Amino acid sequence: MTDSYDLLIRGGLCATPNGIAPADVGVKDGKIVAVGALGGAKAAEIFEAKGLHVLPGVIDTQVHFREPGNEHKEDLESGSRAAVLGGVTAVFEMPNTYPPTTTHAAIEDKLKRAAGRMHCDYAFYVGATPANVGALAALERLPGVCGVKAFLGSSTGTLLLDHEDAILAALKGGTRRMAVHSEDEARLRERKNLAVRGDVRTHPVWRDVETARASTERVLRLARQAGRRLHVLHVTTAEELPLLAASRDFVTVETTPQHLTLSAPECYERLGSYAQMNPPIRESRHREALWKAVSEGLIDVIGSDHAPHARADKDKTYPDTPSGMPGVQTLATVLLDHVNAGRLTLERFVDLTSAGAARLFGIAGKGRIALGYDADFTIVDLKAKKKIENSWIASKCGWTPFDGMETTGWALATIIRGRIVMRDRALTTAGQGKPMRFVETLAPNST
């Protein structure tokens, strides 16, 4: 064991697979090389973490950074800057861009755009379409790809996979875990007239519980038929949870901080269309059901579904307003506030925001503080109490639905592969992000 490190994180309470306890962490060449009592060690850089918690780097498994095509709302640089300012060390970025990320060329384009500009590590989803289902098995194995994403109901962008035969073909066309936005497109079309002009409170009436439940029931049936692992994104309803619980041999489940924190109709009355997202924020009984699912282990990961829109778009008249809200920068502090309120243990926070993502998607070398892993850390002050403010938001949209909310628990530093990229709410090292690697695609691509 070496006693000289590139970085020594000293004196913190460290969340390792062995529990949360005092420990120092030694880093060399971007990797964790020592965990324990390292007080006498030398290091090129020392981070004094007394009174702080040293957590595995937070991984946000659902962000929309809008590039290419909508860079006025967000781009890979600004979105990743927001991520590291909030304590996030890595992101999965979504395919509903313009053009959509549905081809080898589109993936290569995103990787080129990200190089030298993104501040956190990253991977990109490939979007499933009726036209590319035959290519998905090859596309999902490309470097820098985290998997396939299918929109079963229309949302932001043009991606849609709504016919049963096409959904089944996509499920059969690959082996990695496939992520889905689960809303029933036929029902959305039938009920569109229930979206009352000028009344965003009708958003969850139009995109109702049955729209989500029926879609999830169908895709679970098809995934079982195809023998495919499935990941259901941003689950919002109490009615979906028993279906998901009955399918745990192949399905994993994600929800968002928004759906665990906000509820209808209050959020629409207070925020208007700024509370509009797909699937919608629903009444409090669904929020409480989601919290029960968290406590019972049914929720595997929490992703922000960061989906920023310009104020000019959000200020239009519903339903001409776009769905989506920013969230990557507030993910950690909103959830740490729930930790302080007793709704979540810190160990469960770690599982939902780092270890869970690494386990589900097979991220190589990330998700825990252990020897040989990437030196990714989110260092937090659990006692810090501050107000979330629009002025803090680095996203180009410049707003957050949590503006004015006081939270307890804040990320003070973001460390990625041994580099301190954020400290005391300021970016310290720019453009150091790299593509994540995945266990299932480490071997050279044979296609």
Residue 159 has which token pair? 């991606």
Full DSSP string of 270-302: HHGGGG--SSPP-BHHHHHHHHHHHHTT---EE
Q: Who contacts 149 (Cβ-Cβ below 8 Å, separation ≥6)?
A: 94, 95, 125, 126, 127, 128, 159, 178, 179, 180, 181, 233
**Residue in the structure block whose two tokens are 């120092």:** 24
Describe the strand order of the beta sheet including 58-63 as a list of residue ranges.
58-63, 88-93, 121-127, 145-151, 178-181, 230-232, 251-255, 301-302
**Is 121 in the active site?**
no
Residue 305 has which token pair? 């579904």
Q: At what angle do helices 164-172 and 209-226 cross, to 10 degrees?
A: 50
Give kind and range of the element (H or E) at residue 43.
strand 42-48
Q: Which residues pair with 28 in a beta bridge?
A: 31
Interatomic CA distance for residues 48 and 20, integer angstroms? 17
Using CB atoms within 10 A of its CB, is residue 6 exposed (0-12), middle (13-18) or buried (19+)?
A: middle
Strand spans (E) along 202-288: 230-232, 251-255
Degrees to nearest 5, angle at CA 110 with 108 and 113: 110
Q: Which residues pair with 60 in a beta bridge?
A: 91
Of 121, 305, 351, 381, which is the active-site residue? 305
Residues marked active site are found at 305
